[in-house]
A = this chain, B = another copy of it.
Amino acid sequence: MSEWFILVALIAGVVAILIAAYFARIVLKKDPGNERMIEVSGYIEKGAKTFIKVQYKVLAVFVIALALIIMFFIQSPKGSIVNWEQSVAYVIGSVCSMLAGWMGMYVGVKANTRSAQACTKGVKAGFDVAFFGGAFMGLAVVGSALIGISIVYLIFQTPLVVLGFSFGASSIALFMKCGGGIYTKTADVGADLVGKAEYNLPEDDPRNPATIADNVGDNVGDIAGMGSDLFDSYVASILAAMILATFLGFVDPNNESTFIVFPLVLCGVGLISSVISIYLIKWKGSEDPGKSLNYGTYIATLIFAGLAALFAFLMTLGATGDIILKIWKNYVATLFGLGSGILIGFTSDYFTRDDKKPTHNIAESSKEGHAVVILSGFAYGLISVAPAAIGIVIAMVFSYLLDGIFAIAMAAVGMLSIVGTIVSNDAYGPIVDNARSIAEQGDLGEETIRIADRMDSAGNTAKAITKGFAIGAANLTVIALLFSYNEDAKQRLFDLGLPTINLSLLNIDVLIGAFIGVIVPALFSALLILAVQRNAAKMVDEIRRQFESNPKILKGEEAADFTKTVSIATKGALRELILPSIISIAVPLAVGFLFGVAALGAFLAASILSGFVFAIFMANAGGSWDNAKKWIEDGNLGGKGTEIHKASITGDTVGDPFKDTAGPSINTLLVVMSLTATIFMPLFAALSPFGLIIFPML
């Protein structure tokens, strides 16, 4: 009977997509503002579409190549001669992820100017437009993920084919995240270095040739990139639980798919909770947009707890005592996961708020100059890893005590269950950021810009929480994927009549895998940062060239040439995303071939550990530098234009690629590496289960 419960997920997915379409219609109907605003918004839209189109063309080649590799080199989980099942699922996953990114970006670029225009009527009006734009993205992402997984599972009846779907979503997310992250910070850093630091132009000044590129970056990096990222984590968390349920052999005598279906059901419930919370936020309204967004997160959590209990109860009907107990245990584990996600979000909030000690101290340290701002931000960023790690450890410990590793996977599902709300809140940020910029460029007046500013700062607060949440969720997900990799490998080696996988840290192959794994997130971050730095330098040269060759631009008498800067950002991002992307797929393959299945497992584990440290550190250090600078700009310590302010800008500029390029890409890196390992493991198991370099047991 429990198979039918998948309908909960499927129906929730379809409903979410319909509601999303309805939100899109509402947004599109709004007044896009004056001519200048439409023009600016048109530039942004064109820039974003150009980038995504070029990127999707490259991705199409990549997807086809990988689909063929999967088809012909990986053994079919259904026993077919060619592995068309995983290959097709892979293509579907890729397409779903691309679609979700595209749609979010599309509505985002429409919502920005409309939200700016609505701000002329007040906070509430402006908030609604931006919020609906964000909610569209949230519901579209989660809806398409649930529909995709449900259909693939219903057709193929095994989570191992869903693995193909998840790998598709993940490989796209990697490109979107790296490319978008490089794009957005190339423009932002370039604009800041020349415009703010050298010419004292304000943020979003239309005279700055990189302003449009910066706006485009918000859309391709923060909306499309972030959407694919959470799509990816979301799918992977469900997949990990489904695989574990299969391999651990959780058999309900009546109905053996109960625990395979359970994560999907809970995610369906989470989506319904997100939809309700979105309506409640809208209905409640508020003059304080920041509060509204956070209120949405709590409300969604509470509704989820209630609704999930109801559906868990429905699933216990007709089940035996053991199974009933197991369902309830795992229900509680999802709540642990969700609670710990919120805890991690709040840690991030604490470390990045200007009224709390860390960011306050960082701002104060600007008095000692550029170097000291960097040192204190760096140090607090590292310290912030500790409480977040405690959050993850608590979630792991308590889930495990409830029902072992499956419950850990369910905790990850729980963390991500309300991802609809999280994505909505997160996509709200870049929309209002753009709205603010358009209000400035469209001359909507002081009052409207002030309102847009307030909305923007609410977006930043919400973002700190959602970012911590996203990292925590991705981390728990990859831990669950590590367990499912191991269970899958065990089964595969058993089938081949080989000794089982042993991940003891004292085995030399495991230790070597771990050594390589621990450096990958560091190397990957470094490459992304250098990419931003190289591109930003080009952007700086171009901006300087424009200002110097045509003094009328600075006087505001002639328009800057936006197309050049947009083109620099586009080309740079596409060129620079290649090396990091290759690393994230090639290194796990190399470790698997050279050192075998166990080394690959250890590689994953170590990369998860160090990836967690780097992701949290970079996100929080970047966030607190940003807010320290904003606090000074609010008039503290002498305010704008002082040496103290300049030092704080240095912190913010260093933090930009930390928090918006490298830090958030690590999530995706970890998921891609885990899925690459899992999907190619049958190949390693068949070719070289102990690696091409075989260590004798001495």
Interface residues of chain A, those whose CB is within 8 Å of chain B, are 189, 193, 197, 365, 368-372, 374-376, 378-383, 385-386, 389, 392-393, 396-397, 400-401, 403-405, 479, 482-483, 486, 502-506, 508, 510-512, 514-516, 518-519, 522-523, 525-527, 529-530, 532-533, 536-537, 540, 601-602, 605-606, 609-610, 612-613, 617, 649-651, 653-654, 657, 693, 695-696, 698
Contacts and interface: CB of A to CB of B under 8 A. Distances in A.
A385 B522 CA distance: 8
Given A375-B533, A610-B613, 11 more contacts: A371-B649, A371-B654, A382-B523, A382-B526, A383-B523, A401-B695, A403-B698, A405-B698, A502-B504, A518-B612, A609-B609
A529 B378 contact: yes
Nearest to A479: B511
A530 B376 contact: yes
B374 A536 contact: no
A408 to B, nearest CB: 8
Contact of A505 (B380, B508, B510, B657): B510
A329 to B, nearest CB: 11
Contacts of A650: 369-371, 374, 650
30 contacts: A365-B537, A368-B540, A371-B651, A372-B533, A372-B537, A374-B650, A375-B532, A375-B653, A375-B657, A376-B529, A378-B526, A378-B529, A379-B529, A380-B526, A380-B530, A382-B522, A382-B525, A383-B530, A393-B512, A393-B516, A396-B511, A397-B508, A397-B693, A479-B511, A482-B506, A502-B504, A503-B506, A518-B609, A519-B613, A522-B617
A404 B696 CA distance: 9
Given A371-B654, A405-B698, A605 B505 contact: yes
Q: How many copies does the complex hold?
A: 2
Contacts of A365: 533, 537
A474 to B, nearest CB: 15
Contacts of A378: 526, 529, 654
Cβ-closest 10 pairs across A and B: A404-B698, A371-B653, A382-B526, A379-B526, A518-B609, A503-B505, A379-B529, A370-B650, A370-B370, A382-B522
Q: Which one of A375, A401, A483 has the greatest number of beta carbons of chain B within 10 Å?
A: A375
A429 B361 CA distance: 35
A503 to B, nearest CB: 4
SS class of chain A's interface: helix, strand, loop or mixed?
helix
A357 B355 CA distance: 42
Contacts of A514: 605, 609
Q: Which one of A483, A506, A617 has the greatest number of beta carbons of chain B within 10 Å?
A: A506
Contacts of A374: 374, 650, 654
Contact of A386 (B511, B519, B610, B651): B519
Contact of A506 (B483, B525, B526): B483
A163 to B, nearest CB: 19
Nearest to A510: B505
A475 to B, nearest CB: 10
A533 B525 CA distance: 26
Q: Which one of A382, A386, A510, A540 has the greatest number of beta carbons of chain B within 10 Å?
A: A382
B193 A369 contact: yes
Contacts of A482: 505-506
Contacts of A525: 379, 382
A277 to B, nearest CB: 31
A515 to B, nearest CB: 5
A482 B511 CA distance: 11
Nearest to A657: B375
A322 to B, nearest CB: 14
Nearest to A374: B654
Given A505-B605, A506-B482, A617-B522, A533 B379 contact: yes
Contacts of A613: 518-519, 522, 610
A489 to B, nearest CB: 11
A16 to B, nearest CB: 34
A523 B375 contact: no
B508 A400 contact: yes
A512 B396 contact: yes
A94 B486 CA distance: 45
Contacts of A512: 393, 396-397
A539 to B, nearest CB: 10
Contacts of A401: 695-696
Nearest to A595: B397
Contacts of A392: 515
Nearest to A646: B370
A482 B514 CA distance: 14
Q: Which one of A189, A503, A510, A532 has the greatest number of beta carbons of chain B within 10 Å?
A: A503
A571 to B, nearest CB: 19
B508 A197 contact: no
